[in-house]
Amino acid sequence: MQQSGDSGSPSFNPLAVLEFMSDTKEEAIAWLLSRIRAPQEAGGAGLLVEQLGPGVSAEQKDNLNLFLVGASWERLLSGAEDVGLFKEYSDGSMRGFTCVNKHNFKDFQGDGDGFLSMAECQYIIKHELETLRAKDETHVPGYSHAKLYPGKSIIRRLLSKGILIQMFPLHHKEELKRLSFSWYKKIKLSLQPLDKIRHYYGEGQALYFGFLEYFTFALVPMALLGVPYYMFDWEDYDKYVAFAVFNVVWCTIILELWKRSSATLAYHWGTLCRKKAFEEPRPGFHGVLGYNPVTDREEPLYPNAKRQLRIYLVSLPFVLLCLYLSLYVMMIYFQMEGWALSVHDQDPSFWTGVLLYIPSIIYAVVIEAMNLVYRYAAEFLTEWENHRLESSYQNHLVLKVLVFNFFNCFASLFYIAFVMQDMVLLSQSLATLLITSQILNQFMEAFLPYWLQRRRNKKMIRKVQKRRTPGDKELPLAEQVRLEADMSTYLGTFDDYLELFLLFGYVSLFSCVYPLAAVLVVLNNVTEVYSDAFKMCHVFKRPFADPAANIGVWQLAFETMSVIAVVTNCALIGMSPQVKAYFPESETQLILWTVAIEHGLLAFKFILTFLIPDVPKHIQIKLARLEFESLEALKKKRQINAGKCWKARSSGRASSEERRTCRL
């Protein structure tokens, strides 16, 4: 944290940036700044704010309403207590940080400088800004339509009214350089620096990269097993079945073991036992004024029945319509495929050979485009459903997007597998889809944004160089902040997880038809690590840390996929000619056996899920120990109180405090 702004006092460390509309009224800004600066006892946030200078390359169109937010160390420490940060205690356990006990925490030295990571400081700043509540103001000064109610978050209101454009944390050039060096700059065979990633980006990001790494390693045995199947064309009955059974069991086990790894990571990062803060309504939530039954505060209420109506009468039909459309596109693809085949058959040449691949590639591109368009529609609809909580919004969005993406990506494969029953075409399509979507994804999510960002960067550097001595490539703070403010916003790990989810689908659903899928996915994941790391560091604005304890709804999504995988794999095995040859006289017997085995595998899967504990033993012991200690402390406190009362009662003399506690 040596980075010191060239604007402001030397002790001021800028941590986050507030960007207002360029024509925001002076009085609104002055009022907000005074509220942010006011000490907590006076109902303020107790933070430091300074306006960003115009910078060397000041232009007419530059927004001058950029403010840097920071805080004193004492304020950050008390903020750490407010957000309920867990830190390592001197005895090695993780405990909720309290200012009273601060000297007993492991890395707390001197006055605590360096105790909190920059990501944690920024998270604290964000929390303190968001919980800055209106007092008796009825509206934002200068904006009579931006109404305020006592106890409501001011920043959320400003954001939803568009007065505040954005709030984002600053990058730290030095740290970022060090992180990116150990992360992806040197090509080497080593694990990702998860602790460093967590230190810089927070737990949510680090868990994503942890999962990506874990998932890649977990696929290696499958990939290794798949190679000889592909190379030697093993198609015997027993090997075939063995591979599918291995895959199905393996999927279950890796998902269970991931829960354990994730619990271990989250424990050491202090998010496993951390209590969720009370969830505020989303910024966009609107409704008729009323009283919240939980908090008794005045806030907009929106009847749940109305939301359910919107979900079931509008969103659900829309999703179904989209699914139908996706099916329709698929049928067109099969017609094109058939047409290309007939052209090739009539007059085979090099160009008709190429033509054979065209429909698949077009279809893969169309799928990606449809996913993208649908994504916007789903966001719009979910916004319109007007969910009160961010978590509920996220769940509904994820559900909508997942169902459609699953359908869109896998419908054609299901059709080929179970309606056309053409295993050769299935493995071809699988390969084409997998490879095309991988290339498209990597291009869309990393190289394209990077190229755009690079152009912007160069322009800015050129501008600065015009005014400064050439060779000084480091940008001054004002320019750096403006550059970051213009970067695209990172929208969370949603798309990254979605991509992994679909890849997992390709591997697990049809693994026994195309054993090379795992190899392709492993290769993809290795490059994915690099492109994701790169995009986090250079393409997007730094995101605020997200204190996640697990991968949330994605664990459920992956588990659902692995259940579907059992069904499809069993069906594929039952349909294979090798297996059919074992039941020459009776197809009924074959199907009954397949169904029985499938049910057995599903039962085994569920039993396995129960048998493997979600949290490793040593973490369980540590958690139990903490709980035991707090119970003991409570008991001791009660006994001391009881002892005091007993003495007071028997001696007949009692202080005023004793009188109060003992109700004498």
Q: Which of 11, 384, 643, 659 binds its own copies (CB under 8 A)?
A: 643
Cβ proximity to its own copies: between 180 and 292 the closer is: 292
- Quote the least distance from Cβ 222 to its own copies, whole Å: 25
Helix (H, G, I), strand (E, B) or coil at 512: coil
Cβ proximity to its own copies: between 467 and 659 the closer is: 659
User: With binding defined as CB under 8 A, does residue 312 bind its own copies?
Assistant: no
- Quote the least distance from Cβ 524 to its own copies, whole Å: 30
Q: How far apart, in whole angstroms, are the C-alpha atoms of residue 664 and residue 646?
A: 10
Cβ proximity to its own copies: between 65 and 78 the closer is: 78
Q: Which of 587, 613, 633, 655 binds its own copies (CB under 8 A)?
A: 587
Tokens of 613: 């504990």
Helix (H, G, I), strand (E, B) or coil at 542: coil
User: With binding defined as CB under 8 A, does residue 621 bind its own copies?
Assistant: yes
Tokens of 437: 């979507």
User: With binding defined as CB under 8 A, does residue 103 bind its own copies?
Assistant: yes
Q: Which of 173, 646, 657, 659 binds its own copies (CB under 8 A)?
A: 646
Pair 601, 248: CB distance under 8 Å? yes
Tell me the residue type at 39.
P
Q: Which residue's entry shows tokens 């053409």? A: 422
Q: By CB under 8 A, what part of segment 78-97 binds its own copies?
A: 78, 81-82
Q: Which residue's entry shows tokens 């979900």? A: 311
Q: Which of 455, 599, 636, 637 binds its own copies (CB under 8 A)?
A: 599
User: With binding defined as CB under 8 A, does residue 591 bind its own copies?
Assistant: yes
Q: Which of 10, 100, 145, 189 binds its own copies (CB under 8 A)?
A: 100
Tokens of 421: 């029953």
Give the number of other CB atoms < 10 A from CB of residue 637. 10
User: With binding defined as CB under 8 A, does residue 113 bind its own copies?
Assistant: no
- Quote the least distance from Cβ 82 to its own copies, whole Å: 7
User: With binding defined as CB under 8 A, does residue 664 bind its own copies?
Assistant: no
Cβ proximity to its own copies: between 294 and 424 the closer is: 294
Output b/e per residue, 501-512; b: 16+ Cβ within 10 A: bbbbbbbbbbbb
Pair 150, 135: CB distance under 8 Å? yes
- Quote the least distance from Cβ 599 to its own copies, whole Å: 7
Per CB under 8 A, the segment of 405-413, 469-477, 535-543, 592-600 that binds its own copies is: 592-600
Cβ proximity to its own copies: between 84 and 142 the closer is: 84
- Quote the least distance from Cβ 391 to its own copies, whole Å: 13
Q: How far apart, in whole angstroms, are the C-alpha atoms of residue 206 and residue 200?
A: 9
Q: How far apart, in whole angstroms, are the C-alpha atoms of residue 292 and residue 295?
A: 6
Phi, psi of 493 (to 5 degrees): -85, 5
Q: By CB under 8 A, what part of segment 250-309 binds its own copies?
A: 277-278, 293-295
User: With binding defined as CB under 8 A, does residue 592 bind its own copies?
Assistant: yes
Q: Which of 9, 22, 90, 99 binds its own copies (CB under 8 A)?
A: 99
Q: Which of 627, 633, 659, 664 binds its own copies (CB under 8 A)?
A: 627
Q: How far apart, in whole angstroms, are the C-alpha atoms of residue 70 and residue 67?
A: 10
Cβ proximity to its own copies: between 446 and 601 the closer is: 601
Cβ proximity to its own copies: between 58 and 567 the closer is: 567
Q: How is the chain split among helix, strand and coil, in percent rounded to 5?
A: 65, 5, 30
What track of x and - describes contact with its own copies for positions 542 through 571 (by CB under 8 A)?
A: -------------------------x----
Per CB under 8 A, the segment of 181-189, 363-371, 494-502, 591-599 that binds its own copies is: 591-599
Q: By CB under 8 A, what part of segment 20-39 binds its own copies?
A: 39
Phi-psi domain of 66 (left: phi exceeds 0; alpha: psi -120 through 50; beta: other): beta
Cβ proximity to its own copies: between 227 and 642 the closer is: 642
What is the C-alpha end-to-end distance of the chain, expressed in Å? 55
Q: Residue 170, exposed/middle/buried by CB under 10 A (0-12, 13-18, 19+)? A: buried
User: With binding defined as CB under 8 A, does residue 346 bind its own copies?
Assistant: no
User: With binding defined as CB under 8 A, does residue 585 bind its own copies?
Assistant: no
User: With binding defined as CB under 8 A, does residue 631 bind its own copies?
Assistant: yes
Cβ proximity to its own copies: between 25 and 644 the closer is: 644
Task: Report the run of H or E that residue 180 belongs to, with start and end.
Answer: helix 173-180
Contacts of 440 (CB under 8 A, 6+ apart): 364, 365, 368
Q: Which residue's entry shows tokens 């920071």? A: 70
Tokens of 82: 């407010």
Helix (H, G, I), strand (E, B) or coil at 171: coil
Phi, psi of 147 (to 5 degrees): -75, 150
User: With binding defined as CB under 8 A, does residue 611 bind its own copies?
Assistant: no
Pair 7, 482: CB distance under 8 Å? no
Per CB under 8 A, the segment of 5-13, 176-184, 478-486, 642-650 that binds its own copies is: 642-650
Q: How far apart, in whole angstroms, are the C-alpha atoms of residue 379 and residue 182?
A: 36
- Quote the least distance from Cβ 649 to its own copies, whole Å: 9
Measured over the CA atoms of residue 564, residue 570, residue 573 and residue 574, the dihedral's sign is: negative
Tokens of 167: 């709030």
User: With binding defined as CB under 8 A, does residue 448 bind its own copies?
Assistant: no
Cβ proximity to its own copies: between 45 and 179 the closer is: 45
Pair 156, 167: CB distance under 8 Å? no
- Quote the least distance from Cβ 158 to its own copies, whole Å: 23
Measured over the CA atoms of residue 539, residue 543, residue 549 and residue 550, the dihedral's sign is: negative
- Quote the least distance from Cβ 295 to its own copies, whole Å: 6
Q: How far apart, in whole angstroms, are the C-alpha atoms of residue 207 and residue 554?
A: 12
User: With binding defined as CB under 8 A, does residue 588 bind its own copies?
Assistant: yes
User: With binding defined as CB under 8 A, does residue 489 bind its own copies?
Assistant: no
How many residues sit in the footprint of its own copies (CB under 8 A)?
36
Q: Which residues of the shown chain bind its own copies in the complex (CB under 8 A)?
A: 39-41, 78, 81-82, 99-100, 102-103, 277-278, 293-295, 567, 587-588, 591-592, 595, 599, 621, 624-625, 627-628, 631, 635, 638-639, 642-643, 646, 661, 663
